[in-house]
Amino acid sequence: MSNRQPSTFRSKPSALAIALKAILVGSTGLAITPLSVSVLAQETAAARSYNLPSAPLEEALNRFAQQAGITLPFDPALVAGKQAPAFKGRYSVGEALALLLAGSGLSATQNDNGTWSLVATRQTSDVMSLDAMTVVDNQLGTITENTKSYTPGVIASATKLVLTPRETPQSVTVVTRQHMDDFNLTNMDKVMQHTPGVTVTTYDSDRSEYYARGFAITNFQYDGIPIQRNSQYSSGNALSDMITYDRVEIIKGASGLTTGAGTPGATLNLVRKKPTAYLSGHATAEAGSWDNYRTEWDVGGPLNESASIRGRVASAFQDRQSFQDHYKRLNKAYYGILEIDLSPETLLTFGADYNKTIPTGSNWNGVPLFDSKGNTVHVTRSFNPGASWSTYEQYTHSLFTQLDHNFDNGWVSRTYYTYQVNGYDAQLGSANGIPNVDNGNSTTFISGQYRGKTKSHAVELYASGPFELFGREHELVIGASAYRNHWKGKNWGSTRIATGDFYDWLGEIKKRDWGKPTSHLDELTNQRAIYATARFKPTDDLSLIIGSRITDYHLTRDKNSRSSGEVTPFAGVVYDLNKNFSAYASYTSIFLPSRYLDTKGQLLNPDEGDSYETGIKGEWFDGHLNANLSYFEIRESDRAEYAAYDYSRNDSLYEAVKAKTKGIEAEISGEIFPGWNIQAGYTYKTIRRDKDNHKLSTQEPEQIVKLYMTYRLPGRWNKFTIGGGANYQGTTWRDVTNPVGGSEQYRQEAFWLVNVMSKYQMTDKLSATLNINNLFDNYYYTNIGNVNTKAYGEPRNMMLTTRWDF
């Protein structure tokens, strides 16, 4: 046994020194690790700024002790095989050590002489011990992977300030990595189906739209950087594979401060996975209903001895049939990321991702609502009006890089650039014409071809940190951003031809000769902005957040719209009522330059929305459980509502109306008891036109309930996890055209969908999970009324996943 005394580290040990140290430890069996020089005990209590990457615990403690200037001798056997999370921020020595040792079973105590010691944390059966969370934070918030949690630690998507949910004066829902893994949420549609307050509408087999608070969600962010979706045709976003992402954050209400132009319903922020400083990963093999097969590979780790270079690669491949006849879809996704510590204070990141879906048998606009006599059309859920050759390929790929730097005064900066391409290649054909009862139920077949892509460049530079005013510490974020979206496309138009009996349709029909394009699309969007947000702390219990964004927006080429110097303010207040509850209120706004023409053929004014929210937030068990109850109100000045169709222009015409949305939301997420995770929410909203109080956006339900839970059984049954959940959707309706009676209201009554799951942990590394969706095989529609058609939701289905972690 070695009895060496602590010595002084004055520089980072070389790779050779680390190797010799490892040999020494291995040969002696036990060594006391030297850590930095001793300093006065009172100095160790002072808060300092830290930025440490994830690393083996022994290495992380050495590095921390050098920066903090403390002595901390310990037995290497205590830390063998343990991993320290990355963390940054301004902490005292005790706070920083608690973060470093989180989940390790160890804690640090300070001795009378100012040195520190590591001790094993004593476990007691009479104290509730929630699952250990390995908390890894960065400027985007807490990395949720490996936390085993359904709630985030901190988030930054609402204000760019890194805050806990309780500290954020706006509703933000986070679907974590654990939630996605438990319920097999492998694509964006599935994640949104589990998200409180969000409705998923599918127009047909390959097009989805998300709604929140009465508005279509068109605002997408990737790692906090806005990439506005131009059109459903160029989305690709709605089919994103989740193999790439650590979590999905949903900012409810307007988000003009961080997004710029957009709609006031919600913003989706997809946060990518990060590399690890130790070898880790997983592989899956999955099989399910309708010949649904999927596999995933995900591996990350250090690429050099000191773990200053870290990488990660992941891929997913899915080949599935469908409950619909002659429809199938192939999905391929790839992701890679590289992190390089240029210095202890500077981090450089490179990454790329690619996602493509290749369907065949795609239908276009679903099944017709009525036949020629005005009777409702009834077909089985498996009926597919799409031609066997019909396809709607969509793809997205991106390159991104960022540079992070930590300054000695506690400030941090980030420079981020991304290039993204979203594209589509659709050759569509579908027998969705009205069946003619008097002519053997003959129908018409519509076909068309559409190709295009959107190329997006986005760059953002911002810095955040503390500042002192009137003897108290506050926080500030300042930044600038710019992005350029260029959407170009070709359309071959749509044609209709007569075909046979609608009810005998099998998808067999010859593909048409497309000829030359009938129209072209060309839209160029440029957006430039500067912004700032400050969080003031007048007292320990009161926080005031004030921010503003100034945006120049310019749409050119086919359409022309300009908004210069558009100011989108943000103001929020949070007051801590006691240890667990805070009251909050906020105001923000957003604007969306219009692409719609009015009845005179002129472009509508930009739609401006003011969003108000107030409520109470709760936090328990050191942030393991979060809840909020809120009232929200959104006021619009120029909402575009459909008025008529102009056949001469081959375009829809709209009118601008004033509207008001009101509603309440309640949500809870996290761990309520050891091993018991929950994410649940209730939303009620109504949106009415000011001039006549007429209800709008009725295809989205006024009431939504979503509840999902998992529970790991205790004692000798702890290898089993059981779970389930349910979605409730209130009555929806839409004004449609009956070929006999003219305009009428088509309704879908309220319904429930129930999903269940069970997991068996065969070994520490190997598990099997069974997911069953729509357990009671309920019939329901995912769309009613879009161009007088309807689309069925999925019947009961299941998926078995075997997973190997390493």
pLDDT single digits (tens) 462-514: 999 999 999 999 999 999 999 999 999 999 988 999 999 999 999 999 999 99
DSSP state of 650: T
Residue that wins the pLDDT comparison between 65 and 25: 65
Cα–Cα nearest to 102, from 131, 78, 134, 72: 134
| Angstrom distance (rounded) from CA 353 to CA 272 | 10
Alpha helices by DSSP H, 606-688:
none
Cα–Cα nearest to 237, from 266, 263, 210, 204: 210
| Angstrom distance (rounded) from CA 407 to CA 641 | 50
The pLDDT value recorded for residue 41 is 36
100 Cβ neighbours under 8 A, 6+ residues apart: 52, 57, 60, 61, 64, 84, 85, 87
| Angstrom distance (rounded) from CA 527 to CA 555 | 9
Q: What angle do CA 110, 113, 114 make, to 5 degrees?
A: 45
pLDDT, tens only, 426-472: 999 999 899 999 999 999 999 999 999 999 999 999 999 999 999 99
Q: Which region, left, alpha or beta, applies to residue 100 given φ > 0 means left and ψ of -120 to 50 means alpha? A: alpha
Q: What angle do CA 343, 345, 347 make, to 5 degrees?
A: 70
Q: Record the tokens describing residue 209, joined without a space.
A: 């739209």
Check: CB of residue 11 under 8 Å from CB of residue 17: no
Check: CB of residue 322 under 8 Å from CB of residue 351: no
The pLDDT value recorded for residue 58 is 81
470 Cβ neighbours under 8 A, 6+ residues apart: none
| Angstrom distance (rounded) from CA 798 to CA 168 | 38
Q: Is 586 helix (H, G, I), strand (E, B) or coil?
A: strand
Crossing angle of the two packed helices 93-100 and 57-68, in degrees rounded to 10: 170
Cα–Cα nearest to 52, from 62, 44, 40, 60: 60
Alpha-carbon distances of 187 from 183, 244, 361, 547, rounded to whole Å = 11, 10, 20, 34
Which residue is associated with the tokens 């430890």? 25
Does the CA dihedral 216-219-223-227 come out positive or negative? positive
pLDDT, tens only, 766-791: 999 999 999 999 999 999 988 899 99
Q: Is 92 helix (H, G, I), strand (E, B) or coil?
A: coil
Q: How far is CA 7 from the centre of its chain?
A: 47
The pLDDT value recorded for residue 352 is 98
Check: CB of residue 33 under 8 Å from CB of residue 5: no
Neighbours of 71 (CB within 10 A): 21
Secondary structure E strands in 407-541:
412-430, 442-469, 472-501, 519-536
- Which pLDDT band, with edges at 50, 70 and 90, does 96 fall under? confident
Neighbours of 111 (CB within 10 A): 11
- Range with lowest mean pLDDT among 20-34, 223-237, 594-608: 20-34
| Angstrom distance (rounded) from CA 793 to CA 147 | 33
Check: CB of residue 283 under 8 Å from CB of residue 804: yes
Q: Concatenated DSSP letters for 364-417?
A: SS-EESB-TTSPBP---TT---B-TT-EEEEEEEEEEEEEEEE-TTS-EEEEEE
Check: CB of residue 392 under 8 Å from CB of residue 428: yes
309 Cβ neighbours under 8 A, 6+ residues apart: 302, 303, 338, 339, 340, 341
- Range with lowest mean pLDDT among 257-271, 393-407, 550-564: 550-564
Check: CB of residue 293 under 8 Å from CB of residue 320: yes
Check: CB of residue 267 under 8 Å from CB of residue 217: yes
The pLDDT value recorded for residue 347 is 94
Terminal C-alpha separation, the chain: 33
Q: What percent of the chain has a predicted confidence (pLDDT) above 90?
A: 62
Q: What is the mean pLDDT of the chain?
A: 86
The pLDDT value recorded for residue 474 is 96
Q: Which region, left, alpha or beta, applies to residue 160 given φ > 0 means left and ψ of -120 to 50 means alpha? A: left
Which residue is associated with the tokens 């729509």? 774
Q: Is the pLDDT of residue 29 over 60?
A: no
Cα–Cα nearest to 621, from 182, 276, 132, 260: 132
Enumerate domains of the chain plus CATH numbers.
Answer: 15-120 (3.55.50.30), 140-269 (2.170.130.10), 270-805 (2.40.170.20)
The pLDDT value recorded for residue 12 is 37
Q: Is 273 helix (H, G, I), strand (E, B) or coil?
A: coil
Q: Record the tokens describing residue 712, joined without a space.
A: 């790991």
| Angstrom distance (rounded) from CA 673 to CA 541 | 28
